[in-house]
Structure 1
Amino acid sequence: MTVQDQTPDREDRLDPGEIHNVLRNDRRRRAIQRLRESDGPISVDALAEHIAAAETGESPPPRDVRKSVYVSLHQTHLPKLDDLGIVEYDQRDQQLELRDRAEQVEVYMEVVAEDDISWATYYLGVSLLGLVTLSAVRFDLLFVSSFGIAFWSWYFLALFALSASYHAYSERDHRLFDS
């Protein structure tokens, strides 16, 4: 399969207004995020349990909250996501899974695991570390000055180049527009 075969046609693209409408609701965002984390289809019950626990901070969540989440998912959010082609919602079996169109929405979601950092935070950290290191070299502080400013400049330039290359490679399938 070619890259062009994997890329949705222009008419198959979601309208930016539809994407905004999907993402402005916490339950829809949480549903997409949970489906991304799953290895396969999940049940509406399991999704409702997960979202209710996230909303209340309790595990297991209170029964009335779980029921409220289940009803809103079943009646409103999942049919909308299904109509837009973002999820496959089998109402008979009460099973859900992401469809290919979900990638168009995921581009706008920075889903970062709880024990992970975002790319923006990573680049900020590398920048600050580079600034502190080069300042320490300039003022002969710590052991870093023994390597010289040229070494550290090249080191951080290479670190940025390698990081940006890996970042671009890992995000290659999340392009907003066809080139």
Structure 2
Amino acid sequence: MSLRTSHPESILSETDIHDILRNDRRRRVIECLQDHRREVMLRDLAEEIAESETGQTPAPRNIRDSVYISLHQSHLPKLDSAGVVDYDSDRKTIRLCRFARKVDQYMEVVTKYGVSWASYYRSLGTMALFLVVLSLTGVPLVSAIDPLVFASLFLALIAGSTLYQLWTRRWLYLSHFE
């Protein structure tokens, strides 16, 4: 019996999530499905992951086969039983499910540039505060600009960054998983 059908959503613990995400292939499965936002065939998913792992297009056949087998026998059943994906082993199709939202919270801590969102926002806030203080204390060149301009500029940057972050993860907020 799978976790999805026998337990409420709160059962997927932080430990379970970390166990799911500690494997590169399982993380890549979730990322690929997020990118596609639709049901994906196992063969296509295995090819995409093999290409990602090898950096070759197409990936060597033995690597594609190895990825296919490990996904089919190990990773997809684990993600399915946790309720992160719905894996139909007969039809060989995979799609994201409701627990993907909970798991995604642990995946999306770093921007695509390698900086955590927390560090990014902290840096913006620190720079804004620094420039406002310099402007208020009369430091040449900086004090020529009204502190309200600095504050407004950085608030706009923070708002724009937040909208970007929400837009790139919109599938979490708009999708209705089973």
Secondary structure of the structure 2 residue equivalent to 1:140:
coil
CA distance in 1, matches of 2:25, 2:160: 33
Q: Aligned-residue CA RMSD in angstroms?
A: 3.5
Secondary structure of the structure 2 residue equivalent to 1:37:
helix
Partner of 2:140: 140
Letter in 2 for 1:11: P
Unaligned runs of 5+ in 2: 1-6, 174-178
TM-score (norm 1): 0.71
Q: Per-residue deviation at 1:157?
A: 6.7
TM-score (norm 2): 0.72
The structure 2 residue matched to 1:23, chosen from 21, 24, 45, is: 21
Distance 1:167 1:87, change over 3 A: same
Secondary structure of the structure 2 residue equivalent to 1:88:
strand
Q: How many equivalent residue pairs?
A: 162
Partner of 1:86: 84
CA distance in 2, matches of 1:45, 1:112: 29
Q: Per-residue deviation at 1:39?
A: 2.8
Q: Detail structure 1 runs of 4+ shifted over 6 Å in the superposition.
A: 167-171
Distance 1:157 1:111, change over 3 A: closer
Partner of 2:65: 67
CA distance in 1, matches of 2:52, 2:67: 11
Q: Per-residue deviation at 1:82?
A: 1.0
Cα shift readout 1:5-56 (whole Å, capped 9, x = no counterpart): xxxxx83321222111101000000001111111310011111111111111
The structure 2 residue matched to 1:11, chosen from 8, 12, 18, is: 8
Letter in 2 for 1:17: T
Cα shift readout 1:95-127 (whole Å, capped 9, x = no counterpart): 100111211211111176747975335414523
Q: Per-residue deviation at 1:133?
A: 3.7
CA distance in 1, matches of 2:28, 2:139: 49
